[in-house]
Amino acid sequence: MFTGIISDLGEILEVHEKAEGLRGIVVGCGFDPDSIAVGASIACSGICLTVVDRGWRGERPYFAVDAAAETLRLTTAKDWRAGSRLNLERALRLGDELGGHLVSGHVDGIAELTARDDLPEIARLSFRVPRDLARFVAAKGSVALDGVSLTVNTADGDEFSVLLIPHTLKVTTFGASQKGARVNLEVDQMARYAARLLEAHLAVDGTGTVS
């Protein structure tokens, strides 16, 4: 589990195509490699990936992960290249502060940045979400975008907006994001469970059907 509070801004150093649809990804980071266990989970722009190697490249720490075919199909990982920047978060430990909201690192789909308005003290970013996920996005609710825990400002149909403070723009990839950018979207788990419970209720009392 994660919180959506980014702890490092990483850079992809290498990408290797492997057999059976696997893609090996080497990420330069600011983490102490000795503090990363092989087999540990790190959220890479919102995708929970398993560490398969870690160490140093010269004076730069790195860790390596593998992205499977399903991950490449559902997320932006298929577009990552050497030089791509990633929002990184280590897995939540018992006793850690829950500063954002509970994030699983299981991406639901890809949202597209449709507009960016840079205001004097804040930036408003608008996104279009796949229609089957729009029902899980509500004003004042939570979403994780490229692993960043954000509060929905407005929601209308399949579009919604968020407001980013200068600190968030500085420590995440959103500082450089422009119209047309594609980001990994994870909807709030509570919204997903509430929708499922409502569907089950409608099916039981005969007023609706579960699709």
Q: Is residue 54 part of a domain?
A: yes
Report which residue type is found at 160: F
Radius of gyration of the chain (CA): 18
Lookup: tokens for 98: 């829950």
Count the domains in the chain. Answer: 2
What is the set of active-site residues?
2, 41, 48, 50, 68, 106, 151
Judgement on whether residues 132 and 185 belong to the same structural domain of the protein: yes
Strand-pairing partners, residue 55, are: 62
Nearest to 63 by CA among 13, 19, 17: 13
* Per-residue pLDDT at 197: 64
Range of the domain at 142: 109-196
CATH code of the domain in which 40 resides: 2.40.30.20
Cβ-Cβ contacts under 8 Å for 200 (sequence gap 6 or more): 210
Judgement on whether residues 86 and 14 belong to the same structural domain of the protein: yes
Polymer length in residues for the chain: 211
Report which residue type is found at 112: E
Judgement on whether residues 20 and 82 belong to the same structural domain of the protein: yes
Strand-pairing partners, residue 184, are: 110
* Per-residue pLDDT at 94: 73
Per DSSP, 103 falls in state B
| Ramachandran area for residue 193 (φ above 0: left; ψ -120 to 50: alpha; else beta) | alpha
Residues of the chain with pLDDT under 50: 210-211
* Per-residue pLDDT at 1: 87
Q: Is residue 166 part of a domain?
A: yes
134-175 confidence digits (pLDDT tens): 989 999 999 999 999 999 999 999 999 999 999 999 999 999
Q: Is residue 95 part of a domain?
A: no
Judgement on whether residues 86 and 150 belong to the same structural domain of the protein: no
Judgement on whether residues 56 and 22 belong to the same structural domain of the protein: yes
d(CA 49, CA 24): 11
Lookup: tokens for 187: 């909807």
* Residue 59 half-sphere exposure toward CB, CA atoms < 13 A: 0
Which pTM value belongs to this model? 0.89
Q: Is residue 57 part of a domain?
A: yes
Q: Is residue 58 part of a domain?
A: yes
